[in-house]
A and B are shown apart, each in its own frame.
Chain A
Amino acid sequence: MADTARRAIHVLVVDDSSLVRLYYRAALDKAGFHVEQAINGIEAMEKVLSEPFDLVILDVNMPRMDGLTFIRSLRAGRGEVATVPALMISTEAGSQDVADARAAGANMYLIKPVAEDELVRHVGLLTGAIP
Chain B
Amino acid sequence: MPALAAALRREGVPRVREAIMTALIRVGDAASIEAILPYLRSQDAALRTAAVEALCALRESLAPFMPQLLSDGDSDVRLLATELTRNMDAAQATTLLCDLIEREPHPNVCGAAIDVLAEVGTPEALPSLERCAARFSASPFLPFAISAAIARISGVKG
**Contacts A91-B76, A92-B76 known; A23 to B141 CB distance under 8 Å?**
yes
B111 → A minimal CB distance (Å) = 7
Assess whether A22 is interfacial by the CB under 8 Å rule.
Answer: yes
**Contacts A61-B49, A67-B45, A69-B45 known; A19 to B107 CB distance under 8 Å?**
no
Residue in A66, A67, A92, A113 whose beta carbon sits within 8 Å of that of B107 in the complex = A113
> Using Cβ atoms and an 8 Å threshold, which residues of chain A touch B145?
19-20, 23
Q: Give the complex CA separation of A87 and B118 in angstroms.
A: 26
Assess whether B46 is interfacial by the CB under 8 Å rule.
Answer: yes
Q: Give the complex CA separation of A60 and B79 in angstroms.
A: 13
Assess whether B7 is interfacial by the CB under 8 Å rule.
Answer: no
- Whether the pair A20, B115 counts as a contact (CB closer than 8 A) is yes
Assess whether B11 is interfacial by the CB under 8 Å rule.
Answer: no
Assess whether B149 is interfacial by the CB under 8 Å rule.
Answer: yes
- Whether the pair B139, A66 counts as a contact (CB closer than 8 A) is no
Assess whether B34 is interfacial by the CB under 8 Å rule.
Answer: no
Report the contact-size class of chain A (Cβ under 8 Å from the partner).
20 to 34
> Using Cβ atoms and an 8 Å threshold, which residues of chain A touch B61?
none
Assess whether A115 is interfacial by the CB under 8 Å rule.
Answer: yes
Assess whether A50 is interfacial by the CB under 8 Å rule.
Answer: no
Assess whether A4 is interfacial by the CB under 8 Å rule.
Answer: no
> Using Cβ atoms and an 8 Å threshold, which residues of chain A touch B149?
19
Q: Give the complex CA separation of A116 and B144 in angstroms.
A: 11
Q: Hey, what's the 0/1 contact readout for B89-126 against A, CB within 8 Å counting as 1? A: 00000000000000000011001101100110000000
Considering only residues 103-128 of chain A, those with a C-beta below 8 Å from chain B are: 112-116, 118
Assess whether B80 is interfacial by the CB under 8 Å rule.
Answer: yes
B143 → A minimal CB distance (Å) = 10
- Whether the pair A96, B43 counts as a contact (CB closer than 8 A) is yes
> Using Cβ atoms and an 8 Å threshold, which residues of chain B touch A100?
43, 45
**Contacts A18-B119, A19-B145, A19-B148 known; A112 to B108 CB distance under 8 Å?**
yes
Closest 3 CB pairs of A and B: A115-B140, A113-B141, A91-B108
Interface residues of A (CB under 8 A from B): 17-20, 22-23, 26, 60-64, 66-69, 91-92, 96, 100, 112-116, 118
